[in-house]
Structure 1
Amino acid sequence: MFCARCHREYDAGHRFCPYDGAELAEARRIELLRFKPTRLRGTVLGERYEVCGYIGKGAMARVYLAIERATGQPVAIKVLESFSARAERTRERFVREAQSAAMIGHPNIVKVLDAGTRADDGAPYLVMEYLFGESLGDWLRRERRMDADLALPVLCQAASGLAAAHRAGIIHRDVKPDNIFLVGAQGDPYAVKVLDFGLAKIQAAEHITASGTAVGTIEYMAPEQVVSDLPDPRTDVYGLGVVMFRTFTGVLPFPRAQQSELLARQLVTPPPRPSERRRSIDRPLESVILKAIRKRPENRYPSMEAFIEDLERLAGDRDGPLSAEAPLAAPDDVYVPQGSFARNAAIYFYRRLGMEAPRFSD
């Protein structure tokens, strides 16, 4: 059953939406969904999905609203741009997104329903569940900050989806507000879907990314990503920690700057205290944020599940002291690069900030 007002779905047996009281229907009405005109309207992909409109564009792909002709259900179709489709690594990342999401199968991960290639140009596409709502990035660009009553459940759900990915051996590597989707009408409790596993690394698989290439969004990039060391689940802890910093303060830990300078600060510069950016942030909340964005992975939460436990303590849903208040494993919290390339990269970034690099042992 489907609510035409807030677009939530329910199992059969419900008559009215528990959130807004609207009467439920058996099918979605496509004219109620938000989309823009497109020249591809009426195009049928895979003999199943008819394009109805344009939703938006990412770095490598465009997203369209379509209906599955057999059921009339709306879906979102991500089509790789033609110029990107010609690059082998880009195509591999695109296919990896479908594989990653299918392997996880978690309610806080967007569902990939199907995949195929366009008949005219061979561009690959992914068919995903249609989500009504907006990204956390759009929400923050409009409202700037989110109060704890809204933010802590959102962060817990995003962390739960990422924890499920980690249990499946998948590291997202691009955790940011634009990849956290808030499902539901504004003002209601949000359900969360984590999007875009196109940069994900499956731990048992070989690297797609060329050696020495940093992957991710630099404002949310962990130190190990900056110097191209191997990521692990604590890499996503860092990314979600930066998301948390921005969600509560309205700003990023480090101001936007020239790319090399921003990367250098992610690697070298201690983050400011969130209370310096917003005075109303109390010490427990600040300690959780800072633990997640420590430079050394061993100083962060050891897993996404451990991060969730402290988020639940902040929300009052779990008893016990915050693990964030325990002493650091490595008090200096200076990131130690793991390979020769990483050491040379770290030296460059120290010099970029006019600093002398520590002596990194082999």
Structure 2
Amino acid sequence: MSALDASGIAQLARRLDLVGDDHLFEAWEELGTKTGPAEPLLRFLERKGIITPWQAAKLLKGEKEGYFLGGYRMLYRIAAGSFGRVYRADNPGTGEIVAIKVLRKRWGEDKRKVESFEREGKVGMAMQHPNIVQILAVSRDAHTGQYYIIMEFVEGGNLKDFLSIRKKLDCPEGLRLLHETVSGLAHALTLGLTHRDIKPTNILISATKTAKLVDFGLAEIAGGAKEEGEEVDRTVDYAGLEKATGQKAGDPRSDIYFLGCTFHEMITGRPLLTVTRDAKARMQRQRFELGSQISRSDPDIPPPVHALLSRMVAFDPAERFQNYEQLMETIDLVSKELHGGRKTAASQVGPKSIYIVEQNQKLQDAFRDKLKKYGYRVMISMNATQALSRFQQQPYDVLLVDCGTVGVDGLDTLEKVLNQADMKRLQCHGIVMLSEDQAHWAERVNLRDNVTVLVRPVTMRQITQALAEFAPTEALASNDE
């Protein structure tokens, strides 16, 4: 503790420009003396709002640095993370409030991490979006050598603190915050930036209940380091998931996965991913296979929300939403359904669409010519897996698979496409053509009421009858066949 008395503390505070002569005059007048212990003077200055308790503690220790950065006056510490500390600060001249994140000294001595810190900060300055905390400046203090980022100050708290009070959110509110967060992620991706550290503490909830993302890309700077008592960072979790699924770092579908985990915590109040500090356990494949945990999730979660969540945290990246546009569209559909909206068909506008998996060239030509006459938009491929990829990018109304020419891969693809349609709450129907020796495969899809199974010999009339039931067109309805 400093040996400075009240007079010494007053001189130090005045020299640091924390107090003015008029403030000290008022203090001496009330205290009746300029000598004696420092604490009464500091308590008076705190009570008058002239200095903060954080500043008072530094003064009492005799510290002469760390009160100002970038022209802003440091007021108090908001949070501490694995790579830096965050402070509330103000502009003494205008009263503007900001947050300042200061890079920890150990990272400031690593040239590569400093370059990454500055690069991420400068990219962040270009991100102008209501659901992303705005970065105002990135700089280094010439005197102390400290690297820092000046950011928009969000009056409120982070999602973790929000949930500690609310326990859990109702689904409509959770979906709204989810949509806002995805909107921010989508904007960042247009600048080539993924988050890499999605967790409740990195989603701030403003006083107006708006979600705002913070710390884009900064998890990589910390490299998995942590402070005692600090929330486990997601850096190791991202590495474990991507190693288990064979995906490269920076895949936005990884952010979607961990946002799904966060969404689960929003609406249930419970973490979905097992929390552990054991680095080896955090890298285990089975830790990320969350199907069983989802199935045992809160029974009050409505089926559309359950389907949305399941797809977000699917272990196989190909089974997740492939981009943020798909995810936001589905969030909108689920929100409308919760509010009594009608289940939306895959083709909301335009002609009905049919995707055909067929390897026989003559049959391809016959399907194309006949079905186009009936007003369908026809897409044909010889490769069954392309049907799934196309549905993920642009959903269609009907999938027709000729297993007689493409084999069991066609049946597997049909199941995956229909499962994706279920999770997106979209209408998609299946028509399966089997050879006689494949007839027993019908058992795999017969339980679905949106699939027609046809065993050879198959006529075009049988196919158009199935289409008339599932996805009729005016031309088909007026046909006399």
Instruction: Give the TM-score normalised by the residue count of structure 2.
Output: 0.53
Q: Give the structure 2 partner of residue 254 of structure 1.
A: 273
Q: Give the structure 2 partner of residue 138 of structure 1.
A: 161
Residue aligned with 1:104, SS: coil
Instruction: Pick the aligned partner of 2:193 from 154, 167, 170.
Output: 170
| Distance 1:314-1:270 versus aligned 2 partners, 3 A rule | same
| Distance 1:199-1:63 versus aligned 2 partners, 3 A rule | closer
Superposed CA deviations along residues 115-172 of structure 1, whole A, max 9, x for unmatched, are 2112333110111111101111222234332111321111110000001011211111
Amino acid aligned to 2:330: D
Q: How far apart, in 2, do the equivalents of 1:73 and 1:260 lie?
A: 45
- Larger mean CA deviation between 311-320 and 80-89 belongs to 311-320
**Does the 8 Å contact 1:180/1:195 carry over to 2?**
yes
Does 1:279 find its partner at 2:299?
A: yes
Unaligned 5+ runs, structure 1: 1-30, 202-206, 210-214, 332-362
Structure number with greater CO (CA < 8 Å, separation at least 6) is 1
Calculate percent identity across the aligned residue pairs: 29
Amino acid aligned to 2:200: P
Does 1:195 find its partner at 2:214?
A: yes
Q: How far apart, in 2, do the equivalents of 1:310 and 1:49 lie?
A: 43
Q: Give the structure 2 partner of residue 3 of structure 1.
A: none
Residue aligned with 1:94, SS: helix
RMSD across aligned positions (CA): 3.4
The alpha carbon displacement at 1:270 in A equals 4.2
Unaligned 5+ runs, structure 2: 1-47, 224-232, 347-390, 396-413, 420-481
Q: How far apart, in 2, do the equivalents of 1:281 and 1:36 lie?
A: 45
Q: How far apart, in 2, do the equivalents of 1:266 and 1:181 lie?
A: 30
Q: Give the structure 1 partner of residue 453 of structure 2.
A: none
Does 1:309 find its partner at 2:332?
A: no
Residue aligned with 2:143, SS: coil
**Does the 8 Å contact 2:289/2:314 carry over to 1?**
no
Instruction: Pick the aligned partner of 2:109 from 77, 86, 89.
Output: 86
The alpha carbon displacement at 1:242 in A equals 1.1
Residue aligned with 2:275, SS: coil
Q: Give the structure 2 partner of residue 299 of structure 1.
A: 319
- Larger mean CA deviation between 61-70 and 316-325 belongs to 316-325
Map 1:1-362 to 2 at 5 A: 37-38=54-55, 39=58, 43-46=67-70, 48-184=71-207, 190-199=209-218, 216-218=234-236, 223-224=241-242, 229-257=248-276, 258-265=278-285, 269-316=289-336, 320=344, 327-328=415-416
Q: How far apart, in 2, do the equivalents of 1:314 and 1:330 lie?
A: 17
Amino acid aligned to 1:64: Y
Aligned residues: 285
Q: Give the structure 1 partner of residue 361 of structure 2.
A: none
| Distance 1:220-1:176 versus aligned 2 partners, 3 A rule | farther
The alpha carbon displacement at 1:250 in A equals 2.1
| Distance 1:274-1:296 versus aligned 2 partners, 3 A rule | closer
| Distance 1:148-1:208 versus aligned 2 partners, 3 A rule | closer
- Which structure: larger Rg? 2
Q: How far apart, in 2, do the equivalents of 1:81 and 1:54 lie?
A: 14
**Does the 8 Å contact 2:195/2:216 carry over to 1?**
yes
| Distance 1:57-1:231 versus aligned 2 partners, 3 A rule | same
Q: How far apart, in 1, do the equivalents of 2:173 and 2:140 lie?
A: 39
Amino acid aligned to 2:112: R
Superposed CA deviations along residues 242-284 of structure 1, whole A, max 9, x for unmatched, are 1112222222233224332232146663432535131111221
Instruction: Give the TM-score normalised by the residue count of structure 1.
Output: 0.69
Q: Which one has a larger percent helix, Structure 1 or Structure 2?
A: 2
